[in-house]
């Protein structure tokens, strides 16, 4: 009996260093329980088990306050016993300790979100950038003397004149920036889901978390879009003026800071937020609720890979279908000259008025087709990649 008590004391300790004030009374209860179990064992009852509850294990440890460097604190705070059925069995000469799984630290959680988001950013950039180039060219070309008749014509002419590299014009900005943007976006989304308390029973909760996440991500996305758009616009300028000498992306960054100061890289941030806050809410809301809808109808309670891709693609289509006109305005502002003295538009209001005069309401939907072609595969690939990576590393 004494030996058994000493075994409990040496093995079972509270993992958080708690010191119970009522340890004597608790251990008194434990001692009685152990005496009773001993009598039962002699009587032939429970010959192959030690009747030691979770509660008695806790009592046996409560008379001690565990020191921070106690090695037994890493062992366990649970001693299980099996009465029939599957699992581990313990005999009267055997005791099994189970390690308790501790929640991952904030640093580990942050690293996982960053890694998954970075992989998603690379995926969406490589899949979607050619479509994005065509979209920007159609959005910003002259209405009176258009260089391209449509998406196919634009893609064909760019490939003919510049090869595949032309469709990836300006890709370094989003490729480098998307790693930071998507890492920030998905880390912010994970934290926003915790803060909002998302639930399949509350579909709007995912929309709230998505809006908050995209607000944070916009501070990274806006500079990426600005310098990407400036690079893509050079294709049109070179086509209109053979003597035009394209600028490097570094030159665009220098000009932005030169003419507008530290806020230069965030030129067009207002339009980015105006698009991203509602669009991000719809994007994540559609994705998560569609995925949950599939999961609820599957026997294992999980959405399949194909269903996750479909959910991501549908979220991307909703994102762009509803808020595309804001993106047209943003592109018009971001592809304007960085030098304020040379700009075509004085502000957002002026840009809206000028675009409307060019083609009415339809002007705000120019380039929608390649955008929707891009939205489905790019967003499906990105959200599937993020979801898949998290499943692997979690």
The reported pLDDT for the residue numbered 173 is 64
Question: Above 70 in pLDDT, residue 174?
Answer: no
Find out whether 182 and 124 touch, Cβ atoms under 8 Å. Answer: yes
Nearest CA to 135 out of 356, 370, 359, 316 is that of 370
What is the model's pLDDT at position 290? 96
* Contact between residue 272 and residue 181 where contact means Cβ atoms under 8 Å apart: no
Q: Is 98 helix (H, G, I), strand (E, B) or coil?
A: strand
State residue 5's pLDDT score. 47
Kindly report, residue by residue over 11-27, the tens digit of the pLDDT.
444 433 344 344 444 44
What sign has the CA pseudo-torsion 338, 343, 344, 350? Answer: positive
For residues 283 and 150, the model is more confident at: 283
CATH 1.50.40.10 fits 106-393, yes or no: yes
User: Does residue 69 have a pLDDT over 50?
Assistant: no
- In the chain, what are the domain boundaries? 2-74, 106-393
Based on C-alpha coordinates, what's the Rg of the chain?
Answer: 31
List the one residue out of 320, 333, 217, 212 whose CA is nearest residue 270.
333
Would you say residue 33 has pLDDT above 70? no
Give me the chain's average pLDDT, please: 75
d(CA 39, CA 104): 43
Give the model's confidence band at 104: pLDDT under 50 very low, under 70 low, under 90 confident, else very high.
Answer: low
Judge whether residue 133 has pLDDT over 70.
yes
Checking if the pLDDT of 1 tops 50, the result is: no
Closest Cα to residue 217, out of 110, 121, 285?
A: 121
Lowest-confidence range among 126-135, 151-160, 220-229, 329-338?
Answer: 126-135
Distance CA 245, CA 262 (A): 26
Q: Return the percentage of the chain with pLDDT > 70, whole number.
A: 73
Q: At what angle do helices 2-11 and 23-42 cross, to 10 degrees?
A: 130
Collapsing DSSP states into helix, strand and coil, what is residue 78?
strand
- At residue 95 the predicted structure's pLDDT band, cuts being 50, 70 and 90, is very low
Q: How far is CA 259 from CA 68, 197, 246, 350, in A?
A: 57, 44, 19, 20
């Amino acid at each position: 009996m004494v030996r058994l008590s000493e075994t409990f004391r040496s093995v079972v300790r509270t993992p958080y260093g708690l010191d119970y004030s009522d340890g004597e009374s608790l251990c008194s209860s434990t001692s009685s329980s152990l005496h009773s179990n001993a009598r039962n064992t002699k009587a032939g009852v429970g010959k192959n088990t030690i009747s030691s509850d979770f509660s008695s294990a806790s009592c046996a440890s409560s008379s001690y306050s565990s020191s921070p460097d106690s090695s037994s604190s890493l062992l366990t705070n649970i001693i299980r016993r099996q009465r029939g059925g599957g699992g581990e069995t313990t005999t009267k000469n055997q005791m099994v300790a189970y390690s308790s799984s501790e929640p991952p630290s904030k640093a580990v959680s942050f690293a996982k979100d960053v890694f998954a988001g970075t992989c998603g950013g690379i995926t969406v950039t490589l899949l979607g950038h050619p479509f994005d180039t065509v979209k920007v060219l159609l959005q910003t070309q002259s209405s009176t003397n258009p260089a391209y008749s449509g998406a196919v014509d634009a893609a064909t002419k760019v490939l003919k004149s510049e090869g595949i590299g032309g469709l990836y014009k300006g890709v370094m900005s989003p490729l480098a920036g998307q790693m930071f943007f998507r890492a920030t976006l998905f880390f912010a989304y994970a934290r926003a889901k915790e803060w909002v308390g998302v639930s399949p029973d509350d579909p709007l909760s995912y929309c709230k978390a998505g809006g908050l996440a995209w607000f944070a991500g916009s501070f990274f996305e806006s500079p990426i879009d600005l310098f990407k758009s400036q690079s893509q616009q050079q294709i049109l300028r070179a086509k209109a003026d053979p003597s035009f000498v394209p600028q490097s992306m570094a030159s665009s960054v220098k000009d932005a800071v030169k003419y507008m100061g530290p806020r230069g890289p965030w030129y067009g941030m207002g339009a980015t937020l105006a698009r991203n806050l509602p669009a991000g809410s719809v994007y994540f809301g559609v994705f998560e609720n569609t995925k949950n809808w599939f999961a609820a109808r599957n026997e294992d309670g999980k959405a399949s890979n194909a269903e996750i891709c479909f959910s991501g693609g549908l979220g991307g289509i909703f994102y762009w279908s509803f808020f595309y006109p804001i993106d047209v305005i943003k592109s018009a502002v971001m592809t304007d000259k960085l030098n304020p003295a040379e700009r075509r538009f004085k502000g957002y209001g002026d840009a809206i008025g000028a675009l409307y005069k060019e083609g009415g309401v339809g002007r705000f939907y120019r380039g929608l087709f390649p955008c929707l072609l891009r939205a489905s595969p790019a967003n499906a690939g990105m959200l599937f990649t993020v979801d898949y990576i998290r499943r692997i590393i979690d």
